[in-house]
């Protein structure tokens, strides 16, 4: 091991031996950048493969002003969480799904991607090096952010010749603070994704185009925006950063993933849990009218987990949903987080213990 890496690894070991937690106010966690101590970095150039990744102190990275990611947005990200169990073990939730989704996105964005094993090793190393930032059970989780970016210089519109895979982490709490139940605005002018575009992969370019709609909605007192399909404007798609579900009777429905909707890992897990509970689950196109007639609505994602929707407004018509005790979202969230934190038996093999 090179001397610099030896030093990092000694520092990781000596700190973790005598300090269980970093100096963080765990009661104040939101969803923001709280720097941790280490990040992971790995490069690949000239059509080669990723190799020689390593941990390094968390720091700013240096990029050429003509880096592909800065000029043409050639980049993908992932999001997953590390959980502390009651007996102080550390769990990841379905991390290989994130690795596969990154590989799928990389194909669409014409980028090389780390193998599943490389992705998992990088995530594990990053989490363990920063384990003092994994919040106490009940206070939050360690959000892990893998990034794949075109770091090589380009000027003509073309893929970069060098790529950087990077993993950093930050302790997080609740994504949407505020009253229980989102107050949604159904956006009928601006769109998030188009057929044939990148809405179905986790491209970094999918998010900032939603800022304007989000800001306009927030200015009117809404908490988030629900986008409609860009071809007909009739069907619901997803929020700025999560998938949506609606419940009517015993039928739980969510928009089918046909290229404009992100195949969420929480989405997929919630479908499986709801089926186990005996609900009928439909992945289909969902007219906005179905949203307005639903009994319950909620959104899912790694960051938002399962968050209830309290109300939705479409073209001036506002409807409210049940968010109280006995709701399905509540049962689903309890089961999902129970598995994620080791409180419930993981019969599906979704969690990965790391040590």
Positions marked catalytic: 202
Q: Residue 64 is encoded by which pair of tokens?
A: 């050429």
Interface residues toward ligand COI, by CB under 6 A: 79, 207, 241, 301-303
Shortest distance in whole angstroms from residue 33 CB to ligand COI? 12
Closest to ligand COI by CB, 140 or 301 = 301
Closest to ligand COI by CB, 302 or 340 = 302
Closest to ligand COI by CB, 240 or 313 = 240
Please count the other Cβ atoms lying within 10 Å of the Cβ belonging to residue 260.
24
Q: Residue 261 is encoded by which pair of tokens?
A: 């909707």
The answer to whether the CB of 123 falls within 8 A of the CB of 36 is no
Q: Residue 141 is encoded by which pair of tokens?
A: 């989780």
Find the residue with minimal CB distance to ligand COI. 79
Question: Cα torsion for 217, 223, 227, 233, to the nearest 10°?
Answer: -60
Shortest distance in whole angstroms from residue 303 CB to ligand COI? 3
Give the DSSP H or E segment for 122.
helix 116-129
Q: Residue 11 is encoded by which pair of tokens?
A: 């520092």
The answer to whether the CB of 142 falls within 8 A of the CB of 123 is no
Nearest to 309 by CA among 335, 286, 291: 291
Closest to ligand COI by CB, 77 or 133 = 77
């Amino acid at each position: 091991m090179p001397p610099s890496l030896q030093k990092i690894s000694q520092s990781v070991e000596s700190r973790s031996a005598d300090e269980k937690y970093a100096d963080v106010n765990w009661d104040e966690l939101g969803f923001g950048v709280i720097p941790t101590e280490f990040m992971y970095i790995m490069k690949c150039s000239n059509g080669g493969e990723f190799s020689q990744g390593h941990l390094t102190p968390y720091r700013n990275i240096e990029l050429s002003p003509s880096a592909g990611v800065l000029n043409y947005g050639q980049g993908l990200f992932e999001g997953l969480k590390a959980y502390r169990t009651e007996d102080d073990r550390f769990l990841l939730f379905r991390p290989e799904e994130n690795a596969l989704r990154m590989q799928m996105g990389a194909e669409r964005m014409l980028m090389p991607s780390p193998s599943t094993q490389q992705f998992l090793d990088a995530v594990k190393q990053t989490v363990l090096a920063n384990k003092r930032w994994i919040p106490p059970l009940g206070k939050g989780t360690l959000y892990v952010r893998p990034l794949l970016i075109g770091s090589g210089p380009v000027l003509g519109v073309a893929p970069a010749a060098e790529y950087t895979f990077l993993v950093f982490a930050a302790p997080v709490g609740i994504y949407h603070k505020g009253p229980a139940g989102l107050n949604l605005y159904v956006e009928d002018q601006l769109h998030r994704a188009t057929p044939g575009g990148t809405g179905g992969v986790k491209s970094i370019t999918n998010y900032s185009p939603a800022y304007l709609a989000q800001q306009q909605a927030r200015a009117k007192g809404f908490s988030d925006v629900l986008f409609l399909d860009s071809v007909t404007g009739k069907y619901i798609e997803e929020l700025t950063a999560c998938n949506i579900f609606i419940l009517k009777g015993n039928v739980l429905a969510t928009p089918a993933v046909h290229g404009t909707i992100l195949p969420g890992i929480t989405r997929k897990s919630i479908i499986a849990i709801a089926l186990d509970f005996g609900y009928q689950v439909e992945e289909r196109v969902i007219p906005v009218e179905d949203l307005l007639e639903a009994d319950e609505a909620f959104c899912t994602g790694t960051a938002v987990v399962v968050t209830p929707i309290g109300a939705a407004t479409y073209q001036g018509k506002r409807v409210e949903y049940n968010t109280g005790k006995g709701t399905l979202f509540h049962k689903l969230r309890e089961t999902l987080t129970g598995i994620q934190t080791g409180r419930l038996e993981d019969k599906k093999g979704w969690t990965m213990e790391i040590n």
